Amino acid sequence: MKPSDGVSRVDEDPEKRGPNDFCLWKFAKEGEPYWETDIGNGRPGWHIEDTAITETIFGPQYDIHGGAVDLMFPHHEAEIAQMEAVSGKVPFVKYWLHAGFLNMKEEKMSKSLGNIVTIREALKANDPRVLRFMFISGHYRSTLTYDEDVLEQSRQALQRIDEFMFRLDSGYASAKEKELVDELKAGVIAALDNDFNTPPSLVSYI
């Protein structure tokens, strides 16, 4: 994603040196919470909140950072700029996993549309294994649909896997069988090494 794609996500201000510059500190407005500081009352910009949280928990560098594809710019770009400037360490994060949107039928799941299903609500209605299988049945960068048809497909696929596993012997009847198992393992690892491509790793099972 190019920075220009996300300009609409950045507050417009004629006093900025560049239109894509983001805010580190916002001065207090009436009715908003604020902190008292030497530069005046205010609060951090939303980009720096996440940077502060992750630095506290993970430190100035860590391996994997996830988030929806619409956070690539400006949010994640801002996080990188902030943390690398403060720590002097590069890269801030080794691997970025930007997930596609989750749809409710044909609409993007969003607070503004009021069609949100929280993870707690989803877990009350579904087996956690079913939800996990549904999520990894598509590439993480692809749009995923959350509806009963998709959940039922995941339930059936898991049932086939469970039935297959129940029939398996713990050992190998021949060297050929061991060779096939080793090839399957290698294929799964190769798929996951290729941009965490989970769907091909499931094909052999279902």
pLDDT in tens, 78-117: 999 999 999 999 999 999 999 999 898 778 888 778 888 9
pLDDT at position 43: 92
Distance CA(147)–CA(105), nearest Å, equals: 6
Distance CA(89)–CA(42), nearest Å, equals: 28
Q: Assign residue 202 a region: left if phi > 0, alpha if psi is -120 to 50, beta otherwise?
A: alpha
pLDDT > 90 fraction of the chain, expressed in percent and rounded:
60
Paired residues of 67 in beta bridges: 98
- 3-class DSSP state of 73: helix
Under CATH, which architecture does the 1-99 domain have?
A: 3-Layer(aba) Sandwich (3.40)
- 3-class DSSP state of 102: strand
Model confidence at 153, in pLDDT bands (50, 70, 90)? very high
Lowest mean pLDDT, pick from 2-6, 117-121, 141-145, 192-196: 2-6
pLDDT tens for 51-71 read 999 999 999 999 999 999 999
Which of these, 121, 117, 79, lies nearest to 98 by C-alpha position? 79
